[in-house]
Structure 1
């Protein structure tokens, strides 16, 4: 994706490069592509290390509970097999439609290994149960925010400082998914062409069908992974204290992008269908709130109806705005 950065941002990068500060000077040492590659290397090394801790395969019993009282008992590999692997043993349709899983009632990523005997449910985008529908909708919205960050981070020229801050908890009723980003473009007013270009890049990215890959890592490793992002290094100790161990941070990888989130995420980016970048609101202290709206790939509406969704998504999302504690 590094080769697809939008050239129309180069004007802004030249205009505002003189506004660079200590933060942009720090970030300019490495390009976004270099930073992403460094994070990928750390991620892959840690994944390989954790996988090597499984000295021998143990079997577990997974009791799948499907629709119309369908039940299937599967013998899978402890700490290796995932809900997606279980779906592969049941039907091809389940592998395509399943968005997220439930393991013993806990929402679970489709590509996250199963640790013990369990009861498994696989949820799609149109569950009849209201509680399941709420879980699926939040998972979809959260994943779209993550994807938006992946696209925005790679959309500007290297001399524009782009630092992802965070995205608020998924709230479908707000009308938009969000990612808050710090830029050294204090007076940037994006054009309609900018919106179309970012949306086109978003669509191109999701059509790659990347899976969301989850990894729990020690906070010290997380600090090393995100040492180029002053906001993440500030957030990581606080995030770690809320984990069961008091030292763990959950990161997700999709394509060449890695970020922090408690998850869960949808199984694959291919589950995202029609989308639009509806608004970019300038906040305080160099922050911009990127807002989008999207539909699942198997849900279709006409142009008029989607226009209503876009109009609603343009309103400033009421989620809490980021605070600039670290000096950018």
Structure 2
């Protein structure tokens, strides 16, 4: 009898295909994943893809960049697919280098560290412009992106945080948002713990991390986010909406890489006060139970009395943000949370 059982087990082991074994190994490794390992993998893939794309530029071509605005209007001869608005600012004036958070290239919002592709007209945007709507949206988008960094680095290794997505910027809502599966059980974050999260974001201002944009093929994005069930589902849908139908736009600050259509501001040094204000449980029609993490921030260039910030704006930012729920949907009609 014992011999028969042994033979049966041997046959079962032999019958397992390589694919099933890979699935078993992957399931086991998923249980051992840490955010630090996943983030390290994403950065390595980001660097490799960036180097691959740079290697494709085998001939340096010159383009004409016409700068409009202060301190003077001028024309620069720059390098196609290599020079960025920030490089142009370096040639014009230190003032533009320090305060410019976004550029307009032929009237289109353009990241400060995104290479220029053709002859163009260039303008720089800063937070004290009379009309700062475009820049405000980029700032809030960047703050939500940074909130993803905070969530992936704040908890111990046993808590594997899976970022889902952040809704489009809506300054009038009072808070920027990142929806994620924190996987912390019934743990309700106290105000002290929220303050600790805030300090992680605030310290990035001193790190002065350049915020880089990179458009990558779907295959690269699939590798980067293979360990995140939410992002994995989003990659193909995002790529289908791109101009080529086969690429995804990524952003990187330090060791944090995430999906976003952008644009974003040029550096974390342009983020001044930064606060994580609240965590709310939400229910996504597609992704199930998630946590909506909400924050508030101010640009470095703008000042505000601490009483106004702490007494009026932070409590407002802590109320449930009724922005669109994260879901895979065919239509673009946003579904909103019920008003609190």
Mapped to 1, the partners of 2:234 and 2:35 lie a distance apart of: 20
Q: Note the C-alpha offset of 1:26.
A: 5.7
293, 296, 299: which one pairs with 1:293? 296
Question: For residues 7-61 of structure 1, what are the alpha-carbon distances to aligned partners after superposition, in whole Å with 9 as ceiling and x for unaligned?
Answer: xxxxxxxxxxxxxxxx996643332111111111111111001000111111100
The answer for the alignment partner of 1:34 in structure 2 is 37
CA contact (8 A) 2:234 2:328 kept: no
Mapped to 2, the partners of 1:26 and 1:302 lie a distance apart of: 49
Q: Note the C-alpha offset of 1:283.
A: 1.6
Does 315-324 or 225-234 show the bigger shift? 315-324
Cα 1:24–1:184 shift into 2, 3 Å: farther
Q: Does 1:65 align with 2:68?
A: yes
Mapped to 2, the partners of 1:25 and 1:321 lie a distance apart of: 31
Cα 1:188–1:154 shift into 2, 3 Å: same
Q: Does 1:50 align with 2:47?
A: no
Cα 1:259–1:24 shift into 2, 3 Å: farther
Q: Note the C-alpha offset of 1:156.
A: 1.0
The answer for the alignment partner of 2:118 in structure 1 is 116
Q: Equivalences for 1:62-101 in 2 at 5 Å?
A: 62-67=65-70, 70-101=72-103
SS at match of 1:87: helix
The answer for the alignment partner of 2:148 in structure 1 is 149
The answer for the alignment partner of 1:243 in structure 2 is 242
300, 314, 320: which one pairs with 2:318? 314
Q: Note the C-alpha offset of 1:188.
A: 2.0
TM-score between both structures, scaled by the size of structure 2: 0.85
Does 140-149 or 274-283 show the bigger shift? 274-283
Runs of 4+ in 1 over 6 A off after TM superposition: none
Structure 1 unaligned blocks of 5 or more: 1-22
Q: Note the C-alpha offset of 1:324.
A: 8.7
RMSD: 1.7
Q: Equivalences for 1:189-200 in 2 at 5 Å?
A: 189-200=188-199
CA contact (8 A) 1:28 1:159 kept: no
126, 129, 150: which one pairs with 2:128? 126
SS at match of 1:207: helix
CA contact (8 A) 1:183 1:286 kept: no
Between the two structures, name the one with larger relative contact order (CA 8 Å, sep ≥ 6).
1
Q: Note the C-alpha offset of 1:67.
A: 3.4
Q: Does 1:227 align with 2:231?
A: no
Mapped to 2, the partners of 1:25 and 1:135 lie a distance apart of: 45
Mapped to 2, the partners of 1:279 and 1:106 lie a distance apart of: 34
CA contact (8 A) 1:185 1:286 kept: no
Cα 1:175–1:25 shift into 2, 3 Å: farther
SS at match of 1:67: coil
Does 84-93 or 150-159 show the bigger shift? 150-159
CA contact (8 A) 1:64 1:73 kept: yes
Bigger Rg, which one: 2
Q: Does 1:158 align with 2:157?
A: yes
Mapped to 2, the partners of 1:286 and 1:109 lie a distance apart of: 34
Mapped to 2, the partners of 1:24 and 1:294 lie a distance apart of: 39
CA contact (8 A) 1:98 1:123 kept: yes
The answer for the alignment partner of 2:266 in structure 1 is 267
Mapped to 1, the partners of 2:278 and 2:289 lie a distance apart of: 16
Q: Note the C-alpha offset of 1:122.
A: 0.5
SS at match of 1:164: strand
Cα 1:242–1:324 shift into 2, 3 Å: closer
Mapped to 2, the partners of 1:34 and 1:151 lie a distance apart of: 16
Q: Note the C-alpha offset of 1:83.
A: 0.1
SS at match of 2:167: coil
